[in-house]
Amino acid sequence: DGGITQSPKYLFRKEGQNVTLSCEQNLNHDAMYWYRQDPGQGLRLIYYSQIVNDFQKGDIAEGYSVSREKKESFPLTVTSAQKNPTAFYLCASSIDWDRGNEQFFGPGTRLTVL
Amino acid sequence: RKEVEQDPGPFNVPEGATVAFNCTYSNSASQSFFWYRQDCRKEPKLLMSVYSSGNEDGRFTAQLNRASQYISLLIRDSKLSDSATYLCVVNILTGGGNKLTFGTGTQLKVEL
């Protein structure tokens, strides 16, 4: 089955620790995205990647880092510099970046900082 | 003004009712419009794209009004399973290309 997978589903972290969230897609999509969702707020774009070996900051990139070494994979690292990391993190992909095509989402990772 | 605005609801309707949601957007140059559905603690899923001529998919009808810069979603014969949050999504032109911007969602509760 084609789709997007994220792991883990739930993640608990102590303050001061970095943590990496996994995102894999087998849809052969060029573009991938990371969003954060907080209660009562819309999705906010953290980072996006138009193509392999390229990525750009979104609206709230501070305290986060990404890599795109393979087309299928776009991991997100939440660093200790992120002030309020507890949130629902969603990875998405689309055929391309520059034509406003629909995005498809993975099941998400709920991160809780203890 | 927010780039994409929706009434947060909740809309509480009886089963079988017809319900409509509106969403306004600020960028007149936006080209792509979508409705997504998000169940509690789940990821958003594409419900339907919105085309200039309007489009229908079973009990769901989407309309676009470019002059007034809003899109709408009509749900006929509501089912209990329609209970969810509906996200309005609009593409916004940026210097680097198109960016999808998500509204905060409208919550629908269908009751017996």
Are the Cβ atoms of B104 and A40 closer than 8 angstroms?
Answer: yes
Quick one: pLDDT at residue A42?
85
Point out the least confidently predicted range of A21-30, A63-72, A78-87, B87-96: B87-96
Which residues in chain A have their CB less than 8 angstroms from residue B91's CB? Answer: 100
CA A26, B55, B106, B98 torsion-angle sign = positive
Quick one: pLDDT at residue A41?
82
A95 touches chain B (CB under 8 A): no
What tokens were used for B87?
């996200």
Tell me how crowded residue A76 is: count the other CB atoms within 10 A of its CB.
Answer: 23
Are the Cβ atoms of B100 and A99 closer than 8 angstroms?
Answer: no
DSSP β-ladder status, A19-25 and A76-78 = antiparallel
Q: Give pLDDT tens digits for A4-19.
A: 999 999 999 999 899 9
CA torsion A86-A90-A91-A97 (nearest 10°) is -110
Pinpoint the alpha helices (H) of A1-114.
none
Quick one: pLDDT at residue A49?
94
Band of residue A1 on the pLDDT scale cut at 50, 70, 90? low
Which residues in chain A have their CB less than 8 angstroms from residue B40's CB? Answer: none
Alpha-carbon distance of A92 to A74, in angstroms, equals 10
Q: Give pLDDT tens digits for B45-71.
A: 999 999 888 899 999 999 999 999 999
Best residue of A55, A89, A94, A105 to probe chain B, by most B CBs closer than 10 Å: A105
Q: What is the mean pLDDT of residues A28-57?
A: 93
Q: How many CB pairs under 8 A join A and B?
A: 47
Q: Are B108 and B13 in contact (CB under 8 A)?
A: yes
CA distances from B108 to A42, B22, B65, B74 (A): 16, 13, 23, 12
Are the Cβ atoms of A97 and B97 closer than 8 angstroms?
Answer: yes
Tell me how crowded residue B112 is: count the other CB atoms within 10 A of its CB.
Answer: 5
Which residue in the set B43, B49, B101 is minimally distant from A102, CB to CB?
B49
